[in-house]
Amino acid sequence: MEGDDETSGPMIDEIYANGDDNRPRKPIYSGDQLDIEVYASLYTGRTKIMRLLFVADRCGEKNNTAMQLEALRMAFDEIKKGENTQLFREVVQKIDGRLGSGYDLDVAWAENVDRRAEAKKEKLENELNAYRTNLIKESIRMGYNDFGDFYYAHGQLGDAFKSYVRTRDYCTTSKHIIHMCMSAILVSIEMGQFTHVTSYVSKAEQAPESLDTITVAKLRCAAGLANLEAKKYKLAARKFLETGPELGSHYNEVIAPQDVATYGGLCALATFDRTELKNKVIDNLNFRNFLELVPEVRELINDFYSSHYASCLEYLGNLKANLLLDIHLHDHVMTLYDQIRHKALIQYTHPFVSVDLNMMANAFKTTVAGLEKELEALITDNQIQARIDSHNKILYARHADQRNATFQRVLETGREFDRDVRSMLLRSNILKHEYNVRASRKL
Amino acid sequence: MEPLQALITQIQGLSSSASDISRLHSILKQADSSLRSDPDRLSPLLSNLDPSLHSLGFLFILEASLVFPVSKQQAEISVPIITRFISACSAEQIRLAPDKFISVCKTLKDQVTLLEAPIRGVAPMLTALRKLQVSTERLTPLHSEFLLLCLLAKCYKTGLSILEDDIFEVDQPRDLFLYCYYGGMICIGQKHFPKALDLLHNVVTAPMSTLNAIAVEAYKKYILVSLIRHGQFSTSLPKYSSSVAQRNLKNFCQPYIELANSYGTGKIAELEEYVQANTNKFESDNNLGLVKQVVSSMYKRNIQRLTQTYLTLSLQDIANTVQLNSPKGAEMHVLQMIQDGEIYATINQKDGMVRFLEDPEQYKTCEMIEHIDSSIQRVMALSRKLATMDEQISCDHLYLSKAGRERQRYDFDDFDVPTRFNI
């Protein structure tokens, strides 16, 4: 085990103590219900609404009506501030009169908004046409950009994306290009088109002028999200870890700094080895700023690194309910959790020649039989080199006999070579024969 | 009667020296059509000839006298004649007219099959094969006939004897397909699965311009055998196999591919259910027995997997994990596998525990060294062969003219050469 020289001495004792909770430590944050007010206040714009609706849907599935209605109520209020009547109708339908008369379908408002939107669209069209006849590049760009903003505000994401992308031909400075990229990224994330996100991130990063730190941080986040969605957890972790603290709350329309900590932390835990975890996460000053925002994640990473698996897993268990309510992470929670658990099991067994399964089960707060099954899967996957003595409930590390393995491999390779060459000779002879036959037929 | 009598005299006179025999050969070729016109009168003439001395003449007359279809009685008479001829004839003479000889041997096969006594053809066919064969590396059309007879007569062991030869030279691709297919079946019968796999692999990956039924049937067996042998099957064929095979084989073997998928999940109940549901399909392909072996191999594979993960495990747990009914059943399986050398383990009947051991082979014994040495020798011989083959092909006129043509198009260096030097 590398990078933990300082813990190697007292480690045995700690592992003994691992299962018992008599160590003085802070009470673990309970998995209290998500405080929706606090949660929603982290975000702005469309993502706030979408996140609230997602929470509402999830709660609806679990029959958590109080929370669902709370989320819907806030979404309703939020939408009322904007101009997205389509979404407004959907939410009203979801509320279904359960929040009293204040939350019914406000037809007058919706029509009013629609009418204004129509008028604005016409105005924008006229303007754009005028710009286009005059061929003023900058104005055309602004015109398309306005169109993009307009469509975005009204929830027509596809059109918004097209309009933003169209500004590209009229970009004159790299600042414009970056603006275009950022808008495209924002819309793509909302649409869930993460391949677009990746391509526009790389486009923005190629800009000739150096970007300001906030933009860099935003791009890192967007790339991280794209990798997360593509299940490339390691890359996602790297991107989130590279995110600078300048991000602050500047990217609230997409991601909150708390999310950076959670996403990055979990992905890193699931995919990094110990040295990487130490160097890139725990000793990473930038990322520490983010971790401070979510103490649970910070604690569980430290627990994991210092081999307090039980409390680490407990933290994870408590966080789980809330993570499942996250619009981006919910699909990946189970995979990440499994990977983290597997890593914990592997790391636990790694330094030992033999491990008492009872003790290990205790450390992981599980039963011996369950642990045996988990270990069996890992051994079959060749992730742990060990064998289980099921009779005495002991796990023995298995040291591959290099000499025997080499002999085996050599003989196997010899056989393969023998077989392959023979069938190759045979095939070439047939080919030769067929070619000759064909050639003689031609003559 | 007169011309025939003259022919017989000529045969008797011209059967001693090599030059005489070649003269006789041309005379016989001319007489061939007239012989055929009257097959009934020929058989009595054979008594005038000695099969060992006048092999060539005997062969021509015998071949002409054999017409098909024959009745069982006729077959009863002609089979001994052919058998005697095959065992007595001289190899040099019959090699002058291989087509005739092959035709005679095929008739023999047809007749013994008609008599429902394929075993009577096995030994003569082997003799015939050896006499016709110029070298053991050459495939003759008789190979597949012989293997077919072995299969029909269930003389798998005899069949194995010719499968041990490495075949490199082939005249007719069809012969090779059949040889490998029947050979594969014989090896399956003898449970030599690696060898069977090699042979079937040859069929499936052989160059072919159109798909043939032999390849399809071979592919089905190939799937099953590789499940038994390796416990897995990948549907993608190697790059060197023909594009026809790569594209089409799968479509003809859907039930088998699904079987392999079901096997891959490792769930015995699912596999059995699938087999149950598709019994008819497998039965109509005559592969049901092999499919059953696939199912039972799954138990073994699951037990083998346990040896990788466990040092000790109770019989009850084994039974649970591999879904056997009782610890007793698990014990029987484990016992059988220990006996067959498939796993290394000891059973402790007192506690009902099985202790899995490591492979005791230490690669230190003389036998092992000898084995390794012989493998090395073999591989070296093969390498030499490969080098000679490579040399031969690079000197081959046809190859060079084709490769030369292609090179002109692609190789820019060639453009520097003055045109008159172009091949």
Number of helices (H) and strands (E) in chain A: give both, helices first: 22, 3
Whole-number Å distance between alpha carbons of A48 and A88: 14
Shortest distance, CA A232 to any CA of chain B (angstroms): 26
Of B309, B379, B399, the CB nearest to A376: B309
Number of neighbours of residue A110 by Cβ within 10 angstroms: 16
Shortest distance, CA B233 to any CA of chain A (angstroms): 17
How large a percentage of chain A has pLDDT more than 90? 2
**Residue of B126, B127, B186, B185 lying closest to B156 (CA atoms):** B186
| CB of B218 closer than 8 Å to CB of B181 | yes
How large a percentage of chain A has pLDDT more than 70? 91
pLDDT on residue A12: 42
Whole-number Å distance between alpha carbons of B141 and B170: 9
Interface contact flag, A435 B314, Cβ < 8 Å: no
Whole-number Å distance between alpha carbons of B192 and B183: 11
Interface contact flag, B168 A429, Cβ < 8 Å: yes
pLDDT on residue A31: 46
Residue A197: pLDDT above 70?
yes
Determine which helix (DSSP H) or strand (DSSP E) holds B353, and give its type and residue range. strand B353-356
- Threshold 0.80, pTM exceeds: no
Give the ranges where B133-239 is alpha helix by DSSP (H). Answer: 141-153, 156-163, 173-189, 193-205, 213-230
Query: ipTM above 0.95?
Result: no
pLDDT on residue B185: 93
Residue A20: pLDDT above 50?
no
pLDDT per residue rounded down to tens, chain B (423 residues): 467 777 788 777 777 777 788 888 888 888 777 777 776 677 777 777 787 888 888 888 888 877 666 677 878 888 888 888 888 888 888 888 888 889 889 888 888 888 888 888 889 999 998 888 888 888 888 899 899 999 999 889 888 888 888 888 887 888 889 999 999 999 999 988 989 999 999 889 888 888 889 999 999 999 999 999 888 888 888 888 888 888 888 888 899 999 999 998 888 888 889 999 999 999 998 899 999 999 888 888 888 888 888 888 888 888 888 888 888 888 888 898 899 888 888 888 888 888 888 878 888 889 989 999 999 999 999 899 889 988 988 887 877 887 777 655 554 554 444 444 444
pLDDT digits (tens, 9 = 90+) for A380-420: 888 888 888 888 888 888 877 788 889 889 989 998 898 88
Residues of B344-368 as b/e, b for ≥16 C-beta within 10 angstroms?
Answer: ebebeeeebbbbbeeeeeebeeeee
pLDDT on residue B219: 93
pLDDT digits (tens, 9 = 90+) for A227-279: 999 889 999 999 888 888 888 778 888 888 888 888 999 999 899 888 888 88
pLDDT digits (tens, 9 = 90+) for A110-140: 888 888 888 888 988 888 888 888 888 888 8
pLDDT digits (tens, 9 = 90+) for A22-67: 444 444 444 456 777 888 888 888 888 888 888 888 888 877 778 8
Interface contact flag, B202 A423, Cβ < 8 Å: yes
Shortest distance, CA A404 to any CA of chain B (angstroms): 6
Picking from B212, B214, B307, B363 by the largest number of A CB atoms within 10 A of its own CB, the best residue to mutate is B363
Interface contact flag, B382 A421, Cβ < 8 Å: yes
Of B207, B310, B402, the CB nearest to A388: B310
> Mean per-residue pLDDT for A178-186?
89
Interface contact flag, B312 A390, Cβ < 8 Å: yes
CA distances, A323 to each of A107, A230, A326, A421, B385 (Å): 36, 18, 5, 56, 65
Interface contact flag, A387 B308, Cβ < 8 Å: yes
3-class DSSP assignment, residue B105: helix
pLDDT on residue B174: 85
Q: Pick the residue with more confidence: A435 or B315?
A: B315
pLDDT digits (tens, 9 = 90+) for A199-208: 888 888 887 7
Residues of B in contact with A417 (CB under 8 A): 379, 382
The DSSP symbol for B138 reads B
Shortest distance, CA A176 to any CA of chain B (angstroms): 47
**pLDDT tier at A209, thresholds 50, 70, 90:** confident
| CB of A350 closer than 8 Å to CB of A383 | no
Interface contact flag, A387 B379, Cβ < 8 Å: no
